[in-house]
Amino acid sequence: MNLNLKEKVIIVTGGAKGIGEGIASQLALEGAFPVIVGRNEDDNLKALETIQAAGGFGFQVQAELSEPAECEKAVRLVMERFGRIHGLVNNAGANDGVGLESGNYERFMASLHKNVIHYYLMAHHCLPALKQSKGSIVNITSKTAETGQGGTSAYAAANGARNALTREWAVELLKYGIRVNALVVAECWTPLYERWIQTLPNPEQTLAEINERIPLGKRMTTAEEIANMVVFLLSDKSSHTTGQMVYVDGGYVHLDRALL
C-alpha cells in the first residue's frame, strides 16, 4: 500500500533503538525522511546507517530531551535542515521504577521530565510547522496508565498524561486539520526490555510467564508491528482518525486473560 509519505519529514524521538528505531526504519521504507532525535549521537548515527543501507534517507539530532531547551534546539535544527515538518512521533522515555514507597520528589519530577514534559515541548515547538503541513502527531504510551504495574508511579503518571494530552490536542488542533493519536504498548520486546528481564532472579522463567499472559499467540509484540501501525496513523490513509488510543498489544489490555 502506498501511504503517500514520500519525502515527508517525520521527527521520531528516541528513534535510535527499540520501538523508535523500528518506526524510523519503517518510515524510511515508505520513502519518508525520518529524523532521529536522541541523546546519544553514536546510537543515532548507527540507526541512520541501517536506514541508509536499506536505501532510505534520514537525519539525526543529538538532544537530551529531559532538558527543555534541548527540545527547542532539536526542532530548530530540523527546520534549518528541511524547512518543514509533517509529523511528530513522541516516543522517547523509559520505565525508571520510581514508585510510591521507593521514590521521592526529586526522582518523581526527574521522571516526568524524562517521560512526558518533552512530549508537550516537542509538540509545542513543532506546531507552527505542523499547521503549515496539516501534519500528524502520534504519542507512544504504555498500558501502565490503565492496568497499573506496581512500583512505577512516575511512569504510570507520565503515561496517563500522554493519553490525556492526546485527547486534548486532538480537540485543540481540529481547526488546523492536525490529527493526534496514541499507540498504546503493552509487552514489546526491545533491547531495553531485554536488559530489564536479565536483572531478575529467573529471567527465562519470568519471560515465559509474561508470554503466557499475552492472549494472541502467547508472544510479545514486535517493534515492527508497533511501527506498522504508527506509520499508518501518520499517513493520509488514516485521514479521519484522531483522538484515538490504538492498542497494538495482542489483546493484552482488554481481553480477559483468565479465560484464555
DSSP secondary structure string for all residues of the chain: ---S-TT-EEEEETTTSHHHHHHHHHHHHTT-EEEEEES-HHHHHHHHHHHHHTT---EEEE--TTSHHHHHHHHHHHHHHHS---EEEE---------TTT--HHHHHHHHIIIIIHHHHHHHHHHHHHHHHT-EEEEEEETHHHH--SS-HHHHHHHHHHHHHHHHHHHHTGGGT-EEEEEEESSB--HHHHHHHTTSSSHHHHHHHHHHT-TTTTSPBPHHHHHHHHHHHHSGGGTT--S-EEE-STTTTTS-GGG-
CA-to-CA distance for 93 and 158, rounded, in angstroms? Answer: 10
Q: Cα-flanking dihedrals φ and ψ of residue 74, to 5°? A: -60, -50
Residue matched to cell numbers 497494538: 248
Q: Which residues are catalytic?
A: 155
